[in-house]
Structure 1
């Protein structure tokens, strides 16, 4: 396992993160604990959860696992969770207000059985709450010893920049990470969000690195998804989601490219997709979301895998999202260049 700092902080974390959204839902407690055991055994450190994962059950399962560990294990685990979405009824039971986040953080600490969360992330932007209120609460929580670092999740580029600017101006704790969706099929964050993260020293913690299973090779052209896959579990929703992505030729170009690199390498398609993502600019750690220990075991095979320049170029070309001409494409790039006589 390799390690990088958590954004511009001094906290080192493994380049692969154990995501726990399946805990208590698709993965029972015994299987969840087996994943945690194996992840630590191979040198993994960063464990990511959220209060809304299985209505709090994910945090509780992690808490019970931590409680039975020998002395020193908690110090090895870098624990991350999130708050923002509703865990109960009422108009104040959601969002990034001081009132809701105070309840959300206390609930997470209780379920996890800890006094401090290493990384507390706001799960998404809240248009109702001034960012000053959110950031002041987070800074107070850092000062109280309940949080070590602040992170963002699902923020756009301008929202990220606004949060950093306000925190720096006020002298509050500045976010160190951003958790976005990012994979070979979803690269649009490279147009604006990745540059914003790089400019401000935020490390990326990508979720859905395998594109909801598409980058594992389990889906085929014109074949209806069946059980034991994320789309196959719910035939109606699955076929709708399959139809949206399967009709885009770029999807199959990417899948074919990943398969080609994997076959030439003698490794699995998930390992190739994960290795590509781990080495993208600004990425600190990639979040794995396995249902079973066997899936996790295969994903962990990417821990020390690095693709060649030629393999990376092949995947880049197949997955290029072809940005619109303006402002991200050729015209926009030309506008921002220092060419003499450029511009329109």
Structure 2
């Protein structure tokens, strides 16, 4: 288990992504995935109020409702749920009234009295940051939220949030959720230093680079690998000669530990400074074992260094 920042949230070192629940995983499959994750020691679930509003016929909140139904049915001990605000079609932005209304709606869907970790999903340049920070602080004071966090914020805006929180005397964010993986390491130059400065933890999304780091996509032509989904097309963009070199090393490291490439990629991310728990999702229960292994496999310093060296490259326009 690992502690998130300066909070009292003690979590499994991998967060199960809830973006697929109610989308590529129906209710029954979602329950099976959650059951397998919890049975394997997992207690950290990440979602957002907007999941999965992008699907035709969906309105947002589908993932939270499934998680809430699972919590009500299974009544598991010690589960930590993180959710987010700003992108739900009915609750866009981070104005104070909207933040409050969105949090109350999430609480209803999740069926809980308090949200464990509440993220500002995306920065809202139309709303004064002072208003947003005060609104999040009020949620904590009123017991609707245990701890606050930010996602997709720049380093400067995170510093500004902390400054305002200290001026207002409200709790500071305990976590940052950035885009971070073996083929997207820019986070190390801006966000990691902020996290270190303020004692915050990283909970990275796209930990498997949209599936590329599973090794399934080894051609820039998604159709060549027999995958034609939007996810496959996104992952295939990384399958350049440099990207394939990363996969070669990742496969060798995984083999040395008897785990999959996905597990090794998650283990590398866990080894990085300030990372508490990468986020990874499973649309099938059979995929959960690799996620659990990624949370329990410890790479050697030499293996981390080798992966660092081969991944010192960022593909253009990613």
Q: TM-score, normalised by structure 1?
A: 0.85
Q: Summarize the alignment of residues 191-270 of structure 1 with structure 2, pairs less than 5 Å apart.
A: 191-221=189-219, 223-225=221-223, 229=227, 232-234=228-230, 238-239=232-233, 241=234, 244-246=237-239, 248-270=240-262
Corresponding residue SS for 1:152: strand
CA offsets 1:123-158 (integer angstroms, 9 cap, x no match): 011111111101111111111110000011111111
Whole-angstrom distance in 2 between the partners of 1:299 and 1:238: 19
Structure 1 counterpart of 2:313, from 318, 321, 331? 321
Indicate the residue corresponding to 1:64 in structure 2.
69
Alpha-carbon offset, residue 182 of structure 1: 0.8
Indicate the residue corresponding to 2:175 in structure 1.
177
Indicate the residue corresponding to 1:287 in structure 2.
279
Structure 2 counterpart of 1:117, from 115, 118, 128? 115
Is the radius of gyration larger for structure 1 or structure 2? 1
Identify which range, 249-258 or 115-124, moves more after superposition.
249-258
Q: Summarize the alignment of residues 40-79 of structure 1 with structure 2, pairs less than 5 Å apart.
A: 40-54=38-52, 55-70=60-75, 73=76, 75-79=77-81
Identify which range, 5-14 or 193-202, moves more after superposition.
5-14
Unaligned runs of 5+ in 2: 53-59
Whole-angstrom distance in 1 between the partners of 2:89 and 2:165: 27
Aligned pair count reads 308
Whole-angstrom distance in 2 between the partners of 1:245 and 1:227: 13
Whole-angstrom distance in 1 between the partners of 2:216 and 2:265: 14
Whole-angstrom distance in 2 between the partners of 1:102 and 1:183: 32
Q: TM-score, normalised by structure 2?
A: 0.92
Runs of 4+ in structure 1 displaced over 6 angstroms?
none
CA offsets 1:306-336 (integer angstroms, 9 cap, x no match): 11111111100000137xxxxxxxxxxxxxx
> Are the equivalent residues in 2 in contact too, given 1:15–1:285 (CA < 8 A)?
yes
Root-mean-square deviation (CA), in Å? 1.9
2:305 is the alignment partner of 1:300: no
Unaligned runs of 5+ in 1: 323-344
> Are the equivalent residues in 1 in contact too, given 2:210–2:235 (CA < 8 A)?
no
Indicate the residue corresponding to 1:327 in structure 2.
none
